[in-house]
Amino acid sequence: MRTILITGPGGCGRTTVAAATARHAASEGTRTLVLTADRADTLGAALGTATGPAPTRLGAHLSTWRPDATERFRQDLTAFQTRAAGVLDLLGASRLDAEEVTPLPGAEELSFLRALRDAALSERYDLLVVDLPATPRALALLALPEELRRYLRRLLPPERQAARALRPVLGRLAGVPMPSEWLYETAARWDVELAAVEAVVADRNTAVRLVAEPGPAGADAVRSATLGLALRGLRTEALIANRLLPETAQDPWLAPLAAQQHKTLAEWQGSYDLHTVPHLGRDPRGDDDLAALAVPGVNTVPAPVEWAVADRIAEDGVLVWHLPLPGAIRDELDLVRRGDELVITAGPFRRIVPLPSALRRCTVAGAALREGELRIRFAPDPDLWPAAGR
């Protein structure tokens, strides 16, 4: 299945572009599902028909889905209470009824990620168009599976589960209760589910499309979004300049705005696969308006992003790790080596990434930012990297 993730700054029209993208694909016979994270039915307003908490078919090849985070959270909490019944009874805890449950912070994001996984793994569709939230929240959402998996591995290391036969003895020796089996089972189940979401996002058939209104604010948002996506190993497949006014606009109110838009377009040329969507003069509503939006097609497959390690030991005595970070600024970059991980900070974004196996036996020898690419040099550690013939 092909997956297209669509995001952009708030108010840029990303939901309308997602609806138009899905409609165009469906009109060409592609079995398409458009999934939205919007609480309000903005997607339904654009399509001209309401969307619901379950996948709903709108035509021969187009379906929509707006997951209900509240209901999903109720189901998860009920299942958790059932699995932990023994512990809850031992503690004398009072069970929560489904009717009194309201989602906790983060529940909506987890519910949407599970819906994304379920949709991407479905064999009923050929294309999944995902209407993500505005860019800052979308970046946090895409980072959530990796971060949660990392926390789970640190707090409940899977290898410690192998010692479950010793837990009663260890508990008596330590004088504190040891983690129960159900806790490890829950962590393992979450790890599998989060890994599935990670696999969808990292799949070579997954693309990211940015939507923005050209102008100073849009340009800043695009630079920031491109950098945030790149740090997560995601390439911006296309930049859609939405609500573009004609360059020859004569209206005294619109002419300065049009000139500003086209100045930004000139700056974007050459740096992005740029597509322009003219302003219709109204908010698009229904099939006719969506058909008039010149959104890019869905047949191209993006080139995968590679963080390649170049062997330059023979020439310079180092290995070089190449990390594409378009939009990064030298003064806003920071690198910290922590064991077998590298903490990378780029502007407002931060990510902890595991080092490739070859680099774990090296020490950091320096780094440079050139042409939107961070190049980190690693020198082999003589104690861990035996010389040839030794």
pLDDT tens for each residue of 270-317: 889 999 999 998 999 999 999 999 999 887 766 778 899 999 999 999
Task: Give the least confident one: 130-144, 160-174, 190-204, 257-271.
Answer: 160-174
Sign of the alpha-carbon torsion through 179, 182, 202, 357: positive
Same domain, 201 and 269: yes
CB 239 within 8 A of CB 265: no
Instruction: Report the pLDDT value the prediction gives residue 390, as an integer from 0 to 100.
Output: 43
Which pLDDT tens digit goes with each residue over 321-357?
999 999 999 999 999 999 999 999 999 999 999 999 9
At 301, list the tokens. Answer: 């497959």
Inside any domain, residue 38: yes
Instruction: Report the pLDDT value the prediction gives residue 90, as an integer from 0 to 100.
Output: 62
Instruction: Report the pLDDT value the prediction gives residue 160, as an integer from 0 to 100.
Output: 57
Same domain, 231 and 127: yes
The Cα–Cα gap between 125 and 122 comes to: 7
The Cα–Cα gap between 209 and 14 comes to: 9
Sign of the alpha-carbon torsion through 121, 123, 126, 129: negative
Kindly indicate the confidence band of residue 78, based on its pLDDT and cuts at 50, 70 and 90: confident
Last residue of a domain, one of 239, 265, 291: 291
CB 112 within 8 A of CB 66: no
Same domain, 184 and 212: yes
Inside any domain, residue 23: yes
In 161-241, where does DSSP find H-type helix? Answer: 167-174, 181-202, 216-231
The structural domain count of the chain equals: 2
pLDDT at 369 over 60: yes
* Amino acid, res. 311: D
Q: pLDDT: is 239 or 184 the higher one?
A: 239
Q: pLDDT: is 180 or 345 the higher one?
A: 345
CB 72 within 8 A of CB 117: no
Same domain, 313 and 285: no
Instruction: Report the pLDDT value the prediction gives residue 151, as an integer from 0 to 100.
Output: 87
The Cα–Cα gap between 386 and 390 comes to: 6
Same domain, 20 and 111: yes
Taking CA atoms, 152 is separated from 71, 240, 315, 361, in Å, by 25, 37, 41, 26
Task: State mean pLDDT over 70-94.
Answer: 69
Kindly indicate the confidence band of residue 224, based on its pLDDT and cuts at 50, 70 and 90: very high
Instruction: Report the pLDDT value the prediction gives residue 186, as an integer from 0 to 100.
Output: 73
Give residue for tokens 């997956």. Answer: 3
Instruction: Produce one character per residue of 36-53: b if its CB has 16 or more CB atoms within 10 Å, e if not.
Output: bbbeebbbbbbbeeebee
At 76, list the tokens. Answer: 């998860």
What average pLDDT does the chain have?
Answer: 86
CATH number at residue 317: 2.60.40.790
Same domain, 240 and 194: yes
Q: What percent of the chain lies above the pLDDT cut of 70?
A: 85
Q: Other C-beta atoms within 10 Å of 79: how many?
A: 11
The Cα–Cα gap between 364 and 359 comes to: 9
Task: State mean pLDDT over 173-202.
Answer: 74
Same domain, 36 and 178: yes
Inside any domain, residue 92: no
CB 275 within 8 A of CB 241: yes
pLDDT at 192 over 70: yes
Task: State mean pLDDT over 102-115.
Answer: 80
pTM: 0.87
Inside any domain, residue 82: no
> How many Å from the N-terminal Cα to the C-terminal Cα in the chain?
49
Q: Which domain holds residue 329?
A: 309-380
CB 133 within 8 A of CB 141: yes
Which pLDDT tens digit goes with each residue over 149-178?
888 888 777 655 545 554 554 444 444 444
Which pLDDT tens digit goes with each residue over 20-62?
999 999 999 999 999 999 888 999 999 999 998 889 999 889 9
Task: State mean pLDDT over 220-240.
Answer: 93
Task: State mean pLDDT over 371-375.
Answer: 93
Same domain, 281 and 333: no
